Amino acid sequence: MVIFNGPDVVFVLASLLKAMAVAGVVLVMVPGSVTAERRLSAWMQDRRGPNRVGIPFTNIRIFGLGQGLADAMKFLLKEQFVPASVNKLYFNLAPILAMVPALVTVSVIPFAPGFDLRPIATWLATPLHLDGATIQAFRISGVVADLDIGLLFVFAIISLSVYGIVLAGWSSNSKYPFLGGIRSSAQIISYEIAMGASVVPIFLVTQQLNLGKIVEYQVAHGWLALPHLAGGWIGILTGLALSFSFVVFLVASFAETNRLPFDMPEAETELVGGYHTEYSGMRFALFFLGEYAAMVSASAIMVTLFLGGWSLPFPWFNGLPMPDSLYGVALPSFLAGLALPWWFGFISIGVFLGKILVFIGFFIVIRWTLPRFKYDQLMNLGWKVFIPLSFLNIFVVAALVLLKR
């Protein structure tokens, strides 16, 4: 067996494995969050929600967790009706464009500090005839694509998602989808400005574009969304400015993913179904699931940028030794300098997923709490409040960074 030899082979195999695992997790989380949405909304309205469907062909109900599977089967088996008046090419292209960007963005998101598998590789070196360079390559990064322009790549891909909706609205050749498409393009483009402006302070503070490096900065200096106690009044003010960035980014990501209170493109009470009125079967399901996949990836981005990614506030859980002080608070002597074994870093995947789940829960709770904005209110909020405030925020943070020097 010399197939595994060579650092490049190890890199390709590991990347394939990671890509498949990440895509698999996202695709499992999508129907999962649909089911979660139905159950949570039911609980918030004093109902039970779907609790019957369990394991197929048995009477075992696992709290209705099989509902996602049943919904997926239903969508697959439904007729895929294509109206005669549509533009066939773009009509078929639009659902794909709605789903793909959400799946692509997660590829640059670091989900773990990295897996140091060299001990295992050394153990396997004799039976597999591995050489030294190959063993060194078994130090695998915790991200599918370690891009140095990570955040810019994320923004480039996110802005593609508007094409799916606009094409769906236009190619349907029908007035409600058309209105939904117009609204969506206006909404997404205007909130993208606020979103982009709200992450500039992160560049200023961390001086990084690589998402993995941003997470490492947060491991060292504390989460960006939380107010800081360290660094004197400059540090505290910077922390507050970054918290404000987080709020702007959070609201803008609601608008980007077309979730209530900003689900103007769908607005079923005004526009029937909005841009997906003419769609049925699996094509509709792709739009529907694309919305949830966008939710998952938006949560992942927010967690990575502002809430420390895969890390917990305790360096202990990140495989690092505990420092002497945390957020400016001195630690007791029995905790300071304590270290955990290297494999404890694997738990960070669970931490990352847990943070994403909390965010998805937040998306769901917000949806069932707030009513929809009026279109002019949405535009006022975007252009007159968030964009000026986030630009102001950039200047404030820039001044603070200068003062700190």
Partner 1 sequence: MALILARPELNLWERLYLPSILGGLFITLRHMVETILLRVFPRKRTGPRSLMEMSSTGLMSMQYPEEKWPMPEGYRGAPVLVMDEGGREKCVSCQLCEFICPPRAIRITPGFLPGEDVHANVEKKPRAFDIDMLRCIYCGMCEEVCPEEAIFLKKEEPIFVGTSRQAMVRDKQELYRLGGVMVRPIKKWDGK
**Contact footprint for partner 1 (CB under 8 A):** 40, 42-48, 247, 365-366, 368-370
Min dist. Cβ of residue 51 to partner 1 (A): 8
The residue among 227 and 231 lying less far from partner 1, judged by its C-beta, is 227
Q: What is the DSSP string of 301-336?
A: HHHHHHS-TT--SSGGGGTSPP-SEETTEEPPTTTT
Smallest distance, partner 1 to C-beta of residue 44, A: 5
Output the six-digit token pair for 131: 């050489």
Task: Provide the minimum distance between the beta carbon of 17 and partner 1 in the complex, in angstroms, as a whole number.
Answer: 38
Q: Which is nearer to partner 1, 220 or 370 (CB)?
A: 370
Name the residue nearer to partner 1 (CB basis): 45 or 85: 45
Nearer to partner 1, 325 or 369 (CB): 369
What CA–CA distance (Å, rounded) separates 231 from 328? 8
Q: How far is the CB of 237 from partner 1 (least distance, A)?
A: 20
Burial of 225 (0-12, 13-18, 19+ CB in 10 A): buried
Q: How far is the CB of 357 from partner 1 (least distance, A)?
A: 15
Closest CB to partner 1 among 217 and 373?
A: 373
Beta bridge partners of 116: 139
Distance of closest approach, residue 93 Cβ to partner 1, in angstroms: 37
| Cα 73 from Cα 237, distance rounded (Å) | 52
**Could you tell me where the DSSP H helices lie in 150-280?**
150-158, 161-171, 175-206, 211-221, 232-256, 268-271
- Which positions ≥6 away from 325 have C-beta within 8 Å? 331
Burial 238-276 (b: 16+ CB within 10 A, else e): bbebbbbbbebbbbbbbbbbbbbbbbbbbbeeebbbbbb
| CA atoms of 249 and 230, how far apart (whole Å) | 24
Residue 389 Cβ, how far from partner 1 at the closest point, in Å?
12
Write down the residue that tokens 């029995």 correspond to: 334
Q: How far is the CB of 288 from partner 1 (least distance, A)?
A: 23
Residue 78 contacts residue 282 (beta carbons within 8 Å): yes
Q: Which is nearer to partner 1, 47 or 404 (CB)?
A: 47
Measured in degrees and rounded to the nearest 5, phi and psi for residue 107 equal -70, -25
Q: Considering beta carbons, is residue 115 or 306 the nearer one to partner 1?
A: 306
Judged by beta carbon, residue 352 or residue 359, the one nearer partner 1 is: 359
CB atoms within 10 A of CB 305: 27
